[in-house]
């Protein structure tokens, strides 16, 4: 093993030395081309069922891109490059290349690569525009308008017009900033004064047929934006979602408030007892009734904006056991989880990762135990012995949701142990994972035996 590691390190050193020799030769009259300037590169991930995608120039990473996100813009000499996209399939230790794009670059050009399609059959669309440089003190920003919602034809977004104006401005024929956009289209750059803007999307040629109206967003000066429409996903209630993607990787969410959010309430505290939940200070607007330990209410539609939910003992107006104040963005599927002991009750606001991927299954872990502070979660092949197995999640504290991790399709046994201990708190519990499955493991203190945990295994799609 050491010999292999040494050999690989030696290869890396030799490659680095060779690169330095080439760079030196470029500046020493070797006959190799000299750069005439710089070109910009970034990528956007529009594959709804993709894991994080590694974007590379040749073999150098430019960042990992999640669905509905963009990489930071990177500048390179105006040579020819192969731009590559790699993913890690569940169970693999190395990346797999899914697609590449050769670009013969020109100086002072900005190249954006839109990755769309599926992981099995990806496509790349190259959007090119001159690099914009703003004058010192400029109060404007630049925007291009794009369409990357692949399900457009089934969502009535097949051919659309975009309007971009102040809040309350009604779309009028002839004032669209983008006309008859279809999937993978993008407009030429347009300049706008800094301020608050609303994106309105209508059926092409019909400004009265409004499909999408974003909440107002504030855009600061000297920004280069791609205002892009994506497909929705399993984490949202909206079929599409607009983002303003910045050149430095920052994204401005532009949701439509007509797509209401949902919240499910999960009860994880034995001492809290059965509760009613209200969403007003006067405790007259009942959201959930007789909410018991280890139960979920299922999704409840809520209004967007700041919300305070108050928990009281079932059938009683007082006392208020928990006040959970949250900010609800439009179009998402949230959860509030109650946990803790008397006088220390907590309510955790989260957005469970429900989005499936085409490179394996996904699994997240969570527990609300007051008897065991840190818990190890084990996922082992069906029938294997637990001893000496490596935990899937190590030392997960109470009321903290683990990030959903990819898992290879197969048949597994699930176990829970207290961190640093060998006693089994729960398991074996059968878990069968297929490609695209999304599961969560929930652990609760047992009502009958404080030495064990009760487990719920939930499909999240």
CATH number where 99 lies: 2.60.40
Taking all residues of the chain, what is their mean pLDDT, rounded to a whole number?
91
157, 237: one domain: yes
Q: Which of 64, 99, 130 is the last residue of a domain?
A: 130
Q: Which of 205, 223, 254 is the last residue of a domain?
A: 254
* Whole-angstrom distance, CA of residue 238 vs CA of residue 230: 10
Buried/exposed code over 369-396 (b: 16+ C-beta within 10 A; e: otherwise):
bbebebbbbbbbeeeeeeeebebbbeeb
240, 170: one domain: yes
* Whole-angstrom distance, CA of residue 238 vs CA of residue 348: 23
Instruction: Give yes or no for residue 36 having a pLDDT over 60.
Output: yes
Residue 319 covered by a domain = yes
The pLDDT of 76-97, averaged and rounded, is 95
145, 221: one domain: yes
Phi/psi of residue 385, each to 5°?
-85, 140
Residue 73 covered by a domain = yes
**74 pLDDT tier (thresholds 50, 70, 90):** very high
241, 271: one domain: no
Cβ-based burial of 423 (10 A; exposed 0-12, middle 13-18, buried ≥19)? exposed
Q: Which residue has the higher pLDDT, 461 or 150?
A: 150
* pTM summary value: 0.89
Instruction: Give yes or no for residue 19 having a pLDDT over 80.
Output: no
330, 231: one domain: no
**248 pLDDT tier (thresholds 50, 70, 90):** confident
Instruction: Give yes or no for residue 77 having a pLDDT over 90.
Output: yes
Q: What is the pLDDT of residue 81?
A: 97
**H/E run at residue 37:** none
Instruction: Give yes or no for residue 32 having a pLDDT over 80.
Output: no
68, 89: one domain: yes
The pLDDT of 276-288, averaged and rounded, is 96
DSSP 259-314: S-EEEEEEE--TTT-SEEEESSTTS-SEEEEEE-TT-B---EEE-SEEEEEEEEET
What's the angle, vertex CA 20, arms to CA 19 and CA 21, rounded to 5? 90
Buried/exposed code over 145-163 (b: 16+ C-beta within 10 A; e: otherwise):
bbbbbbebeeeebbbbbbb
Q: What is the pLDDT of residue 11?
A: 38
**H/E run at residue 441:** strand 438-445
Q: What is the pLDDT of residue 424?
A: 97
Q: What is the pLDDT of residue 16?
A: 39
The pLDDT of 175-204, averaged and rounded, is 97
Residue 49 covered by a domain = yes
* Residue labelled with tokens 């527990």: 367
Note down the domain range covering 448. 361-459
CA 88, distance to chain mean position in Å, is 17
Q: What is the CA radius of gyration of the chain?
A: 26
* Whole-angstrom distance, CA of residue 226 vs CA of residue 341: 48
Q: What is the pLDDT of residue 151?
A: 85
Q: What is the pLDDT of residue 29?
A: 43
CB 44 within 8 A of CB 228: yes
β-pairing, 109-117 vs 38-45, is parallel
CB 187 within 8 A of CB 163: no
Residues listed for the chain: 461
Region of 120 (left: φ > 0; alpha: ψ -120 to 50; beta: rest) is alpha
Q: What is the pLDDT of residue 6?
A: 31
Q: Give the total number of structural domains in the chain.
A: 4
191, 287: one domain: no
* Whole-angstrom distance, CA of residue 247 vs CA of residue 112: 10
Partners of 22 in the beta sheet?
Answer: none
Collapsing DSSP to helix, strand or coil, 171 comes out as coil
197, 284: one domain: no
165, 265: one domain: no
The pLDDT of 204-209, averaged and rounded, is 96
414, 452: one domain: yes
Q: What is the pLDDT of residue 461?
A: 78
Longest dimension (CA), the chain: 87
DSSP 302-339: E-SEEEEEEEEETT-S----EEEEEEEPTTBEEEEEEE
The pLDDT of 98-122, averaged and rounded, is 97
The pLDDT of 246-260, averaged and rounded, is 90
Instruction: Give yes or no for residue 26 having a pLDDT over 80.
Output: no
Phi/psi of residue 8, each to 5°?
-65, -40
Residue 15 covered by a domain = no
Residue 394 covered by a domain = yes
Instruction: Give yes or no for residue 56 having a pLDDT over 90.
Output: yes
Percent share of the chain, pLDDT over 90? 86
Q: What is the pLDDT of residue 205?
A: 96
Residue 22 covered by a domain = no
Q: Which of 220, 238, 254 is the last residue of a domain?
A: 254
**152 pLDDT tier (thresholds 50, 70, 90):** confident
Residue 5 covered by a domain = no
102, 63: one domain: yes
* Residue labelled with tokens 């089934």: 154
Residue 154 covered by a domain = yes
What are 131's two structure tokens? 């690099």
248, 266: one domain: no
* Whole-angstrom distance, CA of residue 426 vs CA of residue 361: 22
What are 369's two structure tokens? 């135990």
What are 293's two structure tokens? 């330990």
Q: What is the pLDDT of residues 177-188, one digit of tens each?
A: 999 999 999 999
Q: What is the pLDDT of residues 377-436, one digit of tens each?
A: 999 999 999 998 999 999 999 999 889 999 999 999 999 999 999 999 999 999 999 999
């Amino acid at each position: 093993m050491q010999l292999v590691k040494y050999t690989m390190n030696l290869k890396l050193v030799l490659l680095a030395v060779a690169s330095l020799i080439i760079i030196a030769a470029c500046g020493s009259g070797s006959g190799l081309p000299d750069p005439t300037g710089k070109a910009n590169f970034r990528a956007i991930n529009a594959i709804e069922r993709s894991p994080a995608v590694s974007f590379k120039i040749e073999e150098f990473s430019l960042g990992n891109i999640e669905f509905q996100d963009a990489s930071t813009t990177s500048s390179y000499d105006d040579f020819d490059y192969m731009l590559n996209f790699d993913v890690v399939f569940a169970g693999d230790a190395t990346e797999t290349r899914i697609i590449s794009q050769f670009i013969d670059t020109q100086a002072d050009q900005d190249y954006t690569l839109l990755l769309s399609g599926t992981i099995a059959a990806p496509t790349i669309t190259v959007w090119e525009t001159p690099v914009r440089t703003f004058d010192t003190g400029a109060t404007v920003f630049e925007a291009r308008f794009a369409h990357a919602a692949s399900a457009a034809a089934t969502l009535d977004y097949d051919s659309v017009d975009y309007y971009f104006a102040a809040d309350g401005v009604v779309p009028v024929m002839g004032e669209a900033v983008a006309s008859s956009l279809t999937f993978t289209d993008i407009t030429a750059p347009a300049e706008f004064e800094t301020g608050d803007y609303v994106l309105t999307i209508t059926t092409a040629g019909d400004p009265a047929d409004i499909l999408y109206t974003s909440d107002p967003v504030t855009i600061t000066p000297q920004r280069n934006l791609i205002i892009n429409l994506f497909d929705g996903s399993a984490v949202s209630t909206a079929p599409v979602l607009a983002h303003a993607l910045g050149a430095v990787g920052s994204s401005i969410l532009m949701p439509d408030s007509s797509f209401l959010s949902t919240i499910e309430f999960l009860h994880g505290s034995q001492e809290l007892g059965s509760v009613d939940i209200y969403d007003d200070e006067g405790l007259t607007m009942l959201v959930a009734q007789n909410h018991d330990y280890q139960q979920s209410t299922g999704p409840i539609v809520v209004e967007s904006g700041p919300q305070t939910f108050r928990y009281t003992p079932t059938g009683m107006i007082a006392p208020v056991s928990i006040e959970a104040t949250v900010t609800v963005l439009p179009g998402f599927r949230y959860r509030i989880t109650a946990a803790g002991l008397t006088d220390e009750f907590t309510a955790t606001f989260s957005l469970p990762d429900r989005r499936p991927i085409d490179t394996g299954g996904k699994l997240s872990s969570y527990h609300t135990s007051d008897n065991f502070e840190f818990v190890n979660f084990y996922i082992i092949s069906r029938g294997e012995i637990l001893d000496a197995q490596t935990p899937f999640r190590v030392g997960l504290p109470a009321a903290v949701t683990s990030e959903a991790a990819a898992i290879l399709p197969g048949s597994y046994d699930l176990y829970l142990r207290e961190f640093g201990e060998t006693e089994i708190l729960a398991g074996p519990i059968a878990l069968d994972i297929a490609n695209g499955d999304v599961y969560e493991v929930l652990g609760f203190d047992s009502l009958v035996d404080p030495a064990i945990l009760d487990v719920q295994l939930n499909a999240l799609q």
